[in-house]
């Protein structure tokens, strides 16, 4: 009997070229499918909730798999964690309706972008944050980020050359907070364009350093032009943080 399983994993994306299987690079999806094939004796297709770029991490990533395997869900989690490399972890598994789709049934996603805000480098988090040595006022930046909230066309915050035709997305929350020397940009939306969060983060940093005027995010959104926004912050600071179904 065919079952549909919802897997929740987390991963450090440093050593991977994103989620999606590629012919000439190691990806998270390929690595997970290799492990599942060893356990289930069949290479079932895995449907991911999102396409993450090379170097991007996930505190929570969901995917579903239709399989004839009868293995118990918790045994599958244990088996995966025994096989998977140390930078990918299986967190949970449960049986869901057969028509459930990890991507299309997703109501919203939350990303966080981490900035190590200190004059000194930190070698232990280099692969998991952007190092920005100049002072950042997280309260000021949080006020700036509020302009992202709402339903807008986010062309200005999409990588040039993207083939996406519908650029309208609804952002339900955007804020900046501080935890010690780590400044965190947090944004939740019903979907994201290619490099959208990284360009948002880069724009906030450019506002902080005066390269982009304060209170201009609304005008940048209205411009619908990539050149109006700030730079694209590096992938290593970005985490897919929560998936809401």
How far, in Å, are 28, 59, 89, 99, 187 from residue 128 at the CA level? 17, 12, 17, 35, 17
Q: Which of 53, 105, 190, 206 is catalytic?
A: 53
Residue with tokens 């244990």: 78
Structure tokens at 184: 């965190």
| 34 a catalytic residue | no
Alpha helices for 46-137 (secondary structure H):
73-83
Q: Does residue 128 contact residue 237 with C-beta atoms inside 8 Å?
A: yes
Which runs of E-coded beta strand occur in 15-75?
46-48, 57-67
Active-site amino acid positions: 53
């Amino acid at each position: 009997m065919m079952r549909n399983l919802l897997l929740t994993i987390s991963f450090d994306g440093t050593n991977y070229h994103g989620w999606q299987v590629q012919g000439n690079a190691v990806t998270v999806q390929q690595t997970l499918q290799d492990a599942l094939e060893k356990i289930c004796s069949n290479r079932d297709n895995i449907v991911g909730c999102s396409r993450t770029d090379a170097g991007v991490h996930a505190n929570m990533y969901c995917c579903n798999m239709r399989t004839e395997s009868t293995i118990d869900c918790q045994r599958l989690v244990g088996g995966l964690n025994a096989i998977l490399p140390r930078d990918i972890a299986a967190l949970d598994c449960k049986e869901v309706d057969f028509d459930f789709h990890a991507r299309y049934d997703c109501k919203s996603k939350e990303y966080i972008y981490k900035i190590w805000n200190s004059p000194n480098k930190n070698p232990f988090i280099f692969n998991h944050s952007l190092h920005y040595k100049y002072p950042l006022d997280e309260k000021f930046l949080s006020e700036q980020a509020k302009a992202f909230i709402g339903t807008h066309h986010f062309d200005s915050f999409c990588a040039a050359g993207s083939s996406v035709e519908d650029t309208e997305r609804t952002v339900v929350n955007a804020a900046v907070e501080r935890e010690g020397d780590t400044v965190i940009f947090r944004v939740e939306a019903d979907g994201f364009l290619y490099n959208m969060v990284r360009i948002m983060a880069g724009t906030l940093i450019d506002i902080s350093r005066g390269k982009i005027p304060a209170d201009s995010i609304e005008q940048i959104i209205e411009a619908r032009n990539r050149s109006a926004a700030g730079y694209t912050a590096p992938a290593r600071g970005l985490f897919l943080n929560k998936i809401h179904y």
